[in-house]
Structure 1
């Protein structure tokens, strides 16, 4: 008898090039929980769509790519700060 996964369990998408993903697939792609994806949608950070009230929430590939670009961490360029030599111990 197959077991049913929780709706909060991230799942790997069948096709990573699909035009739309559900919340569980988005959570797997971003490496976060489904609840975190819901919070980011509620905060307006991640656009989504819903065909009918109470239906499946989907995120488009374009919106997911834009979110990733906006939130990726980039190393800041090094500042040209002149460092003083360390003092000799007395």
Structure 2
């Protein structure tokens, strides 16, 4: 006699989708948004570019996970823009 352990073997269990953002990423985006608003109100351009680069990078993650192959060009553009904003913020901070 086979044992099914309380369920039939032919039913498929619905797999839970992993969340789009972890709790740390959500907290980081909230802090980054607060830094961006402070930088804009204070006139600190390198800090604004730095925080905007992180938000653009997280936008890249959203587009690549949600859009898949259909929005590959947009995801690549957001990745390049995030890297360029980060490099530009470093250059503006030191020069």
Question: Structure 2 length as normaliser, TM-score?
Answer: 0.26
Larger fraction in helix:
2
Larger fraction in strand:
1
Relative contact order (alpha carbons < 8 A, sep ≥ 6): 1 or 2 greater? 2
Question: Structure 1 length as normaliser, TM-score?
Answer: 0.27
